[in-house]
Amino acid sequence: MVTDDSVVVQTKDLTKQYGNQVAVNHLSFTLREGEIFGFLGPNGAGKTTTLLMLMGLTRPSSGEAVVCGLDPVRRAKDVKRIIGYMPENVGFYPELDAVQSLEYIAALNGIPESEARNKIDEFLELVGLKDEAYKKVANFSRGMKQRLGIAEVLIKDPKVLFLDEPTLGLDPEAALNLIDLIVRLKEEHNMTVLLSSHHLHQVQRMSDRVGIMINGTMVAQGTLDQLSKEKFGLGDKTYSLEEIYLKYFREG
Ligand SMILES: Nc1ncnc2c1ncn2[C@@H]1O[C@H](COP(=O)(O)OP(=O)(O)O)[C@@H](O)[C@H]1O
Ligand SMILES: [Mg+2]
């Protein structure tokens, strides 16, 4: 695969099979710098498996992937350093407060204490947890935990964020808060984000482009406008992601 500097992630025919089951089927897509790409699809569509392959955490059965110019299979350690991964269920030490949690992550990543201190202040402010800095994580709401999770992945200065179902289990206001944060990371910090979700309107709100995955196959990808035209033909009306998704889902 030939990629240029603006390409952060690229895959070609990336495939993962578990026994007879094809979890990800010949997936080809490109993620460029400063872009938010939303993987959309029902449970079991292959979203998490794709993220794991891109991080070198599970081996593709066939196909290729490049993350910031690196092959995730052969350069797994380097690739993990570049990607800020927030899994579906972020683990925390409930007895630590927000600052201690971030200090711990900084130490794990070999960041000197003096430098960590500044970053921790900066990121707590950025994710809106400044007033909760010394509160135990045990007392955090799910929305607060997700925002702390984002601060944790930002500490190691990643080139790209992988967010797996970031808004899962959040009430509407907490979800909007998190979406706003993700969009700000892109707009103010030129962050590149790959996220997975099955919440259509939330993905529509924050993504520049989306890929619709059904049973391991990405049946469509593009901007909302592009998908609208592809599925509903030319015209002035732009359809909602929900209308488009359902049409793909029903018609294949
Ligand atoms: N470690 C595994 N072993 C066997 N099957 C798996 C494994 N991980 C995922 N799968 C299967 O692969 C498919 C895709 O799963 P996954 O990537 O987790 O989907 P999503 O994240 O979109 O919900 C599912 O059918 C799931 O059961
Ligand atoms: Mg998943």
pLDDT of 213 reads: 93
Which atom of ligand 1 lies nearest, measured to the CA of 45? 22
Is residue 88 predicted with pLDDT exceeding 70? yes
**Residue 25 C-alpha to ligand 1 middle, in angstroms?**
12
pLDDT beyond 90 at 148: yes
* Number of CB atoms found within 10 A of residue 1's CB: 12
If one compares 106 and 199, the residue with the highest pLDDT of the two is: 106
SS3 212: strand
Segment holding 146, helix H or strand E = helix 142-154
Ligand 1, atom 25: closest residue by C-alpha: 44
110 part of a folded domain: yes
Q: Looking at residue 130, what DSSP letter applies?
A: G
- 1 lies in some domain: no
Q: Do 60 and 105 contact (CB within 8 A), yes or no?
A: no
Question: Residue 181: its pLDDT value, please?
Answer: 94
Q: How confident is the model at residue 4 (pLDDT cuts 50, 70, 90)?
A: confident
- Inform me whether the pLDDT recorded for 244 exceeds 70: yes
Question: In the chain, how many domains are there?
Answer: 1
**Each residue of 173-222: pLDDT tens digit?**
999 999 999 999 999 999 999 999 988 888 888 999 999 999 999 999 99
b/e per residue, 187-214, with b = 16+ CB within 10 A?
eeeebbbbbbbbbbebbbbbbbbbbbbb
Confidence of residue 130 (pLDDT cuts 50, 70, 90): very high
CA distance 31 to 54: 12
> Could you identify the atom of ligand 1 that is nearest to the CA of residue 19?
4
Can you give the pLDDT at residue 54? Answer: 98
| C-alpha 46 to ligand 1 mean position (Å) | 6
Does a structural domain hold residue 224? yes
SS3 for 145-189, per residue? Answer: HHHHHHHHHHCCCCCEEEEECCCCCCCHHHHHHHHHHHHHHHHHH
- Whether 2 maps to a domain, the answer reads no
Residue 95 in domain: yes
Ligand 1 pocket residues where CB is under 6 Å: 18, 23, 41, 43-49
Q: What is the pLDDT of residue 252?
A: 64
Cβ proximity of 208 and 227 under 8 Å: no
131 located within any domain = yes
Average pLDDT over residues 145-165: 96
Q: What is the mean pLDDT of residues 135-143?
A: 96
pTM, to two decimals? 0.94
Number of the ligand closest to the Cα of 43: 1
pLDDT value of residue 2 = 67
Mean pLDDT of the chain: 93
The answer to whether position 115 is within a domain reads yes
pLDDT in tens, 22-74: 999 999 999 999 999 999 998 999 999 999 999 999 999 999 999 999 999 99
C-alpha angle 105-110-111 in degrees, rounded to nearest 5: 80
Position in ligand 1 atom list of the atom nearest CA 88: 21
User: What is the pLDDT, as a whole number, of residue 240?
Assistant: 81
- In this prediction, residue 1 carries a pLDDT of 76
80: pLDDT strictly greater than 80: yes
Residue 153 predicted with pLDDT over 90: yes
Beta bridge partners of 32: 7
The structure tokens listed for 123 are 């990121």
CB neighbours (10 Å) of residue 2?
6
Q: Which domain holds residue 32?
A: 7-251
DSSP at 138 = G
Q: Which of 15, 16, 49, 196 to mutate to test the pocket of ligand 1 (most atoms within 8 A of CB)?
A: 49
Model confidence at 229, pLDDT cuts 50, 70, 90, reads: confident
Tell me which ligand sits closest to the C-alpha of residue 15. Answer: 1
CB burial readout 29-43, b (16+ within 10 A) else e: bbbbeebbbbbbbee
| Of the candidates 156, 221, 154, 223, the residue with the CA atom closest to the CA atom of residue 186 | 154
Residue 236 pLDDT > 80, yes or no?
no
Query: Would you say residue 216 lies in a domain?
Result: yes
- Contact call for residues 37 and 207 (beta carbons, < 8 A): yes
Ligand 1 atom nearest to 24, measured from its CA: 14
Give the closest ligand to the alpha carbon of residue 165: 2
Q: Which residues surround ligand 2, an ion (CB under 5 A)?
A: 47-48
